[in-house]
Chains A and B, each alone.
Chain A
Amino acid sequence: MQVQPPLPATALPATAFPAAARTVPPAVEFRDVHLHYFTDKGETHALSGISFTVRKGEFISLVGQSGCGKSTMLSLLAGLIRPTSGEILINGRPVSGPPPEVGFMLQQDSLFEWRTILDNVLLGPEVRGMDMMAAHHRAERLLKSYGLGQFMGHRPTELSGGMRQRAALARTMCMQPDLLLLDEPFSALDFQTRLSIADEIGAIIRSEGKTAILVTHDIPEAIAMADRVIVLAPRPGRLRSIHEIRFPSAGDTRPGAFAAREAAEFQGYFNRIWGEMEDHA
């Protein structure tokens, strides 16, 4: 068993999200969450004592080695599994079952080959029994604004990887979620596409004022997209540190994901986070 080094200076106490909490509940709150997986092979302590909050409209990146419980945290938020102990709240309400305000994007776009792109985008409203007329208008508007206007009647197999991931975003957005959960959504794409899609999707999410939690093992991507980067330590998964990401050198408004990589502060953030992840490699 390795001895846990003291938290670095950048780490913030989990409850450091202050005054506003009194009036508006945070978009997401983890309260001392523990999770154990039980299987025939044995027990896995996947998450240990996780506590943090996410403000409305904030973009969080979650990084950590593979197996440190990142996907598990998103599954908890999506109501697919229950914590062994502790509590998870979305907009102040405890999660019990898939919350209607959550939209989930996975690494695989999982578009249904037997549906057209438009019908794929309508999947969420269909499952949730939303007003289909309105959903139809929304789907068309989303697809057009994501540059997929001509492909609404096409099958997913006729689209490139980047286009498929944009269609998957449209499918998520068509449910009008407040909270987006992104589980390595770009890692199946080639590097070129990955950079531009991350930039595009980041801009869309920010412009719509959504709260987002992005899981990634790509540190530059985590920094480029987020307001805060949360680093997890493995076995059992626990919070290691939280980094506020600011780019004062790039002006008052936060630069886009692509531009952020050029900002003066970028390398500093990278070195610190990378160093933290190295410790346990």
Chain B
Amino acid sequence: MPETVSVSPGVSAAPKTPSPAYRAWQGAQRRRRMLIALSRIALLGLFLAAWEIAPRMEWVNPMLTSYPSAVWQATAELIGDGQLWSNLWVTLVEVVISFAAAMIGGTAIAVALWMSPALERVLDPFLVVLNALPKIALVPIFYIWLGPTGSIYAVAIAVSVFITILMLYTGFRQTDPNKVKLVRTMGASRAQVLGKVVLPGNIDTFTAALKANVGLSLVGVIVGEFQASTAGLGYLIVYGSQIFRMDMVMAAIVVLGVISIAIYLLIQMLERRLAR
């Protein structure tokens, strides 16, 4: 619920009793939202139904596509024997740790670059190249250097840390120059300009980096698990495909989808909190 805010003195708030026309508009609005929600549910139902029916009628090969009821059963099995939770837990821990490391490290480096423009000027081309380089290509190297667990973290951090640095630093540099000038006329040191203007003025940049990074960390962890691990959702996917259990693969992917949704909701909550 948005707060009501007095726009300026003398401007009174909306009248207490809404006009019939406004009521009608509200009703139409409500119906439109309902229709959208229904359409979404119908679309999902249609997709699931097609996925269930096509393999059963042998229109497509069920060995290749599996179908929802089999996926459901596989999920139930994985839950039943505890495999789902243990693998989910492993993946989540890896995602959270590498996400936090990328965020903290990336922010620290972006701050250091802002504090020292000379450093930034020297490092800029390297950062751009490192950011553009497909980090997935480094997986085998990380594996050799750091072993199975280390390489998962390394990929996940590598995937998100450079984009964090670039996003934050770009945001820092685009801070309203008038605000910076204002605090400089007050005699602010560079650290004070950072603390009073640049950081608080870049909350939006920060949440944007958060958003981009959760997704990227998840990608990095799964890719790392493909190469390296003996546990985690990525492992479940690779293992399922090796023993040709498409239902298991699909079940793991569905769980990944659920995690993504949960993360999305979490970020949205955080964003609201920060926006206040």
Binds B, one of A120-128, A131-139, A218-226, A231-239: A120-128
CB distance from A125 to the nearest CB of B (A): 9
C-beta contact mask, A113-154 vs B, less than 8 Å → 1, else 0?
010000000011011100000000000000000000010000
Known: A158-B6, A158-B8, A159-B8. A114 touches B184 (CB 8 A): no
Q: Is there a chain A Cβ closer than 8 Å to B183's Cβ? A: yes
B187 near A158: Cβ-Cβ < 8 Å: no
Q: Which of A80, A98, A127 contacts B196 (CB 8 A)?
A: A127
Binds B, one of A3-11, A49-57, A99-107, A243-251: A99-107
A160 neighbours in B (Cβ, 8 Å):
8
Binds A, one of B29-37, B174-182, B219-227, B238-246: B174-182
A158 near B5: Cβ-Cβ < 8 Å: yes
B196 neighbours in A (Cβ, 8 Å):
123, 126-127
A78 near B185: Cβ-Cβ < 8 Å: yes
Which residue of chain B lies nearest to A114 when distances are taken between CB atoms in the complex?
A: B200
Which of the listed residues B5, B186, B188, B203 has the most CB atoms from chain A within 10 Å of its own CB? B186
Known: A123-B196, A126-B196, A158-B6. A112 touches B179 (CB 8 A): yes
A110 near B178: Cβ-Cβ < 8 Å: yes
B176 near A127: Cβ-Cβ < 8 Å: no
Q: Is there a chain B Cβ closer than 8 Å to A175's Cβ? A: yes
A91 neighbours in B (Cβ, 8 Å):
none
A114 neighbours in B (Cβ, 8 Å):
200-201, 203
Taken together as a complex, chains A and B put the C-alpha atoms of A79 and B9 apart, in Å, by 39
B203 neighbours in A (Cβ, 8 Å):
114
Q: Is there a chain B Cβ closer than 8 Å to A92's Cβ? A: no
Q: Is there a chain B Cβ closer than 8 Å to A209's Cβ? A: no
C-beta contact mask, B1-44 vs A, less than 8 Å → 1, else 0?
00001111100000000000000000000000000000000000
Which residue of chain B lies nearest to A77 when distances are taken between CB atoms in the complex?
A: B185
Taken together as a complex, chains A and B put the C-alpha atoms of A126 and B196 apart, in Å, by 9
Which residue of chain A lies nearest to B5 when distances are taken between CB atoms in the complex?
A: A158
Q: Is there a chain A Cβ closer than 8 Å to B192's Cβ? A: yes
B200 near A98: Cβ-Cβ < 8 Å: no
C-beta contact mask, A1-29 vs B, less than 8 Å → 1, else 0?
00000000000000000000000000000
Which residue of chain B lies nearest to A125 when distances are taken between CB atoms in the complex?
A: B186
Taken together as a complex, chains A and B put the C-alpha atoms of A158 and B192 apart, in Å, by 27
CB distance from B181 to the nearest CB of A (A): 7
Q: Which of B5, B178, B185, B188 contacts A108 (CB 8 A)?
A: B178
A106 near B184: Cβ-Cβ < 8 Å: no
CB distance from B208 to the nearest CB of A (A): 16
B185 neighbours in A (Cβ, 8 Å):
78-80, 98, 102, 104, 181
Q: Which of A100, A159, A181 contacts B187 (CB 8 A)?
A: A100
Q: Is there a chain B Cβ closer than 8 Å to A67's Cβ? A: no
B176 neighbours in A (Cβ, 8 Å):
110
Which residue of chain A lies nearest to B189 when distances are taken between CB atoms in the complex?
A: A127
Q: Which of A150, A159, A163, A175 contacts B186 (CB 8 A)?
A: A175
Q: Is there a chain A Cβ closer than 8 Å to B231's Cβ? A: no
B9 neighbours in A (Cβ, 8 Å):
150
Taken together as a complex, chains A and B put the C-alpha atoms of A203 and B186 apart, in Å, by 24
Q: Is there a chain A Cβ closer than 8 Å to B70's Cβ? A: no
B186 near A127: Cβ-Cβ < 8 Å: yes
Which residue of chain A lies nearest to B183 when distances are taken between CB atoms in the complex?
A: A127
Q: Is there a chain A Cβ closer than 8 Å to B197's Cβ? A: yes
CB distance from B5 to the nearest CB of A (A): 6
Q: Which of B5, B8, B187 contacts A98 (CB 8 A)?
A: B187
Which of the listed residues B6, B176, B179 has the most CB atoms from chain A within 10 Å of its own CB? B179
Give chain B's interface residues, CB within 8 Å of chain A. 5-9, 176, 178-179, 181-188, 192, 196-197, 200-201, 203
Give chain A's interface residues, CB within 8 Å of chain B. 78-80, 97-98, 100, 102, 104, 106, 108, 110, 112, 114, 123-124, 126-128, 150, 158-160, 163, 175, 181
7 smallest CB-CB distances across A and B, nearest first, come from: A104-B185, A98-B187, A127-B186, A110-B178, A78-B185, A108-B178, A127-B188
